[in-house]
C-alpha cells in the first residue's frame, strides 16, 4: 500500500536524522523506493548505504535491478557482477545481467552468461520456450542459444536445421546481432559455409554502424566466439582469394587473423605475441586497428 510506504519513509527519515550514518536505514529506504518504481531515488539511497559500509547480501542485486530499470545498463552489469561473486548461481541475477549486457551490445559477455545459465539447469530450455514472446527478446535469444548448445555435440543435422527453422521465423533477424551470431554458429556446425558467410557479412555490416575509437572492441566482440572454426576461416580466405597471402612477418599465422587483417583491417595484439613472447601479458582479445 502506498500509504504504508509513505509511513515507512517517515519512520526511516526519523531514524536517519537520529543516526545519519546508519546504512541499514538507507538500504530499507532504497528498497521501498524500488518497490514504488522510483528507481533514481532507490539508486541514491542504496549507494549511500554502500558509502556507510553496509554489508547486506542482496544490496548489489537490488541496486543492479534499480539501474537496469532506470536504463543504466553499464552500472547494472557492474553491480550484478559484484553480487554474483558472492552468489555465482543466482539464476535471476544471471538472467538480468545477461539482459544488461545484451542491451549494451556486449554480446560476448551476454553469451558467456547464457552458457552459465545452461550449466546451472540444462532443462531450462523448455522453461525459456514458455517464457519467450515478442516482448521479451532476451528469452527468445536464450531459447535458441541454449537449444543450440544442448544439441550441437549430440544432435543430428536434422535437429540443428529445426532450430534454424525456428530462428528464421523471427521477423527482422537482420537487425538482431545476437540471433545472427547464433544462426551463423549453427550454419558453421552444419558446414554450410556460404550461409554462414552471409550471416557474418550482415554481422559486420550491423557492427560497422556502432564503430568508433571507444567501442571498436565491443562492435566485434562476437568474432571471438567464431574463432575456433578454422575450416570456416580457411573457406573465407579461399573465397576472398587471400589464402595465398603470407603475413608471417606480422605474426599472422592462421586464417582467422589473416582474414580479419586483410578484409576488415583488424590486427590482433595476439599476433604480436607470435613475434615477441614477452608481450603475452596482453589479452588475446585485444584489438588494434
CA 146/CA 140 separation, integer angstroms: 10
Domain membership of residue 233 (yes or no) is: no
Residue 46 sits in the same domain as residue 15: yes
* 216 and 224 Cβ atoms separated by less than 8 Å: no
Task: Tell whether 220 and 106 lie within a shared domain.
Answer: yes
Please identify, among 59, 88, 117, the residue that sits at the C-terminal boundary of a domain.
Answer: 88
The answer to whether 114 and 121 have CB atoms below 8 angstroms apart is no
Shared-domain flag, residues 135 and 54: no
In a domain, 174, yes or no: yes
What's the helix, strand, coil split of the chain in %, to 5? Answer: 70, 0, 25
Give dist(CA 221, CA 108) in Å, integer: 6
Exposed (0-12), middle (13-18) or buried (19+): which is 9, by Cβ within 10 Å?
Answer: middle
pLDDT in single tens digits along all 289 residues of the chain: 434 766 565 666 766 655 666 777 778 888 888 888 889 988 988 998 888 777 777 889 999 999 999 999 999 999 999 999 999 999 889 989 988 988 887 777 887 787 788 777 755 543 454 344 444 566 666 666 666 665 666 667 888 888 888 888 888 888 888 888 889 999 999 999 999 999 999 988 887 775 554 455 555 667 888 988 999 999 999 999 998 888 888 888 899 999 998 888 888 888 888 777 655 555 444 444 4
Residues 201 and 119 in one domain: yes
Contact (Cβ atoms closer than 8 angstroms) between residue 184 and residue 226 = yes
**Domain endpoint, select from 27, 53, 88:** 88
Cell of 119: 550449466
Cα 69 to Cα 37: distance, rounded to the nearest angstrom: 9
Strand (E) or helix (H) holding 32 = helix 23-35
Nearest Cα residue to 143 out of 120, 124, 170: 124
| 259/176 same-domain check | no
Query: CATH number, domain at 84?
Result: 1.25.40.10
Neighbours of 271 (CB within 10 A): 22
* Any domain includes 63: yes
Residue at 97 is within a domain: no
Query: pLDDT at position 36, please?
Result: 85
Residue count of the chain, please give it. Answer: 289
Whether 220 and 257 share a structural domain: no
| Residue 232 resides in a domain | no
Residue 256 covered by a domain: yes
Burial category of 134 from C-beta neighbours within 10 Å (exposed 0-12, middle 13-18, buried 19 and up)? exposed
281 and 171 share one domain: no
Q: Count structural domains, the chain.
A: 3
CA nearest neighbour of 137 among 179, 109, 191: 179
Domain closes at, from 204, 226, 248: 226
Do 106 and 221 have their domain in common? yes
Cβ burial, residue 38 (10 Å; 0-12/13-18/19+): middle
Residues 279 and 217 occupy one common structural domain: no
Nearest Cα to 117, choosing from 90, 136, 141? Answer: 90
**Contact (CB, 8 A) for 266 and 252:** no
Mark whether 30 and 133 lie in a shared domain. no
Same domain, 112 and 154: yes
Q: Which domain holds residue 57?
A: 1-88
Residue 96 belongs to a domain: no
> Same domain, yes or no, for 112 and 212?
yes
Amino acid at each position: 500500500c502506498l500509504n504504508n510506504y509513505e509511513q515507512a519513509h517517515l519512520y526511516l527519515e526519523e531514524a536517519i536524522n537520529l543516526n545519519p550514518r546508519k546504512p541499514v536505514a538507507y538500504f530499507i529506504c532504497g528498497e521501498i523506493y524500488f518497490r514504488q518504481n522510483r528507481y533514481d531515488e532507490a539508486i541514491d539511497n542504496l549507494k549511500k548505504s554502500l558509502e556507510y559500509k553496509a554489508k547486506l547480501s542482496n544490496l548489489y542485486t537490488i541496486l543492479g535491478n534499480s539501474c537496469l530499470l532506470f536504463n543504466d545498463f553499464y552500472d547494472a552489469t557492474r553491480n550484478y557482477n559484484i553480487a554474483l561473486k558472492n552468489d555465482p548461481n543466482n539464476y535471476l541475477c544471471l538472467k538480468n545481467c545477461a539482459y544488461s549486457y545484451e542491451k549494451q551490445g556486449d554480446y560476448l559477455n551476454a553469451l558467456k552468461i547464457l552458457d552459465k545459465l545452461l550449466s546451472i539447469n540444462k532443462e531450462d530450455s523448455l522453461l525459456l520456450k514458455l517464457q519467450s514472446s515478442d516482448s521479451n527478446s532476451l528469452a527468445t535469444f536464450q531459447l535458441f542459444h541454449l537449444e543450440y548448445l544442448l544439441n550441437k555435440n549430440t544432435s543430428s543435422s536434422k535437429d540443428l536445421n529445426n532450430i534454424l527453422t525456428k530462428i528464421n521465423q523471427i521477423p527482422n533477424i537482420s537487425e538482431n546481432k545476437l540471433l545472427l551470431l547464433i544462426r551463423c554458429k549453427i550454419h558453421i556446425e552444419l558446414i554450410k559455409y556460404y550461409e554462414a558467410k552471409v550471416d557474418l557479412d550482415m554481422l559486420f555490416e550491423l557492427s560497422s554502424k556502432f564503430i568508433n575509437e571507444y567501442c571498436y572492441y565491443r562492435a566485434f566482440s562476437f568474432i571471438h566466439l567464431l574463432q575456433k572454426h578454422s575450416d570456416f576461416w580457411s573457406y573465407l580466405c579461399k573465397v576472398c582469394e587471400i589464402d595465398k597471402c603470407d603475413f608471417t612477418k606480422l605474426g599472422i599465422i592462421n586464417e582467422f587473423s589473416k582474414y580479419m587483417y586483410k578484409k576488415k583491417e583488424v590486427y590482433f595484439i595476439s599476433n604480436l605475441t607470435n613475434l615477441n613472447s614477452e608481450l603475452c601479458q596482453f589479452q588475446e582479445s585485444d584489438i588494434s586497428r
